[in-house]
Amino acid sequence: MTTGNQSDAHSAETLDLPQSQAGLAAAAETTAPFDPAPIGKPTIAPWWNVALIVVLIAATSVLGSLHQSKNSMAGRHLANYGATIALEWVLAGIALWGTRLKKTPLRELLGERRHGARELLIDVGAAAVFWVLSLTVLGALALLLRMLHFGSAQKQISQLAPTTLAEGVLWIALSITAGTCEEFLFRGFLQQQFARASGRVWVGVVVSAVLFGCAHGYEGIAGMLMITVYGTLFSVLAIKRRSLRAGMIAHGWHDSFTGLLLWALKRANVPLGIV
């Protein structure tokens, strides 16, 4: 039990705190995981670490764009898939290294911890709704870009699709890797880094989405624009769900479904470059 004198003393100590410190203390107590711009919290990794990741993303995107313009992506799928899987995990590892240097808990990047089958089903349902809505948005954007005479990325994407059973299996592994690593890197790491640095959620969303689009240089200008919009939608999903899990699910199954559908269309002799 607190006596009157003890209560008065406690009140006096509270009043002696600077108002800004009291506000920060209150914010720290109420801030949940995956708050894109938590008040009073520092950036999640050193800036040199972020710069290293951005340089690697830009370099691989440019190299992918040059490779696509000079040579067909078809014919070396297993090697391309394996190299991409390795690159995805290297980038995620560098990001994780940066958070360790700043002692940022991994949970702050992944979001709220939700246990049980019911919570998993909710995230699966959220991913399904998101996928349908995002495909609608991207379909409308594709029509707009075609009306503006932007080149289509469909031919480039079709060249990446698997053509054999072994390639199909590795494609699914690549899709799961992309869903896990890219959501962690772009929506967990980069989005929160820039949101915290600026104190504005939208800055983190825009920067991470632009970098996400720029990472896909092999798909051309139209593809990069569409993927930037797609990245923005993934950011909104992560913020609304306060977690990366639904986005990882949607991302992984979108990539898996796209590749396997293109494989099926190829086997049916559908002219993918013009459809």
Residue range 118-141: mean pLDDT, rounded: 94
Q: 92: how many CB neighbours lie within 10 A of its CB?
A: 20
Residue type present at position 203 = V
CB of 34 within 8 A of CB of 109? yes
CB atoms under 10 Å from CB of 170, counted, come to: 19
Q: Would you put residue 34 in left (φ > 0), alpha (ψ -120 to 50) or beta?
A: left
Q: What pLDDT was estimated at residue 207? A: 97
Q: Are 176 and 84 in contact (CB under 8 A)?
A: no
Given a cut of 50, is residue 200 above it in pLDDT? yes
pLDDT of 204 > 90? The answer is: yes
Show me where the domains of the chain are located.
Answer: 32-104+120-267
Q: Inform me whether the pLDDT recorded for 12 exceeds 90.
A: no
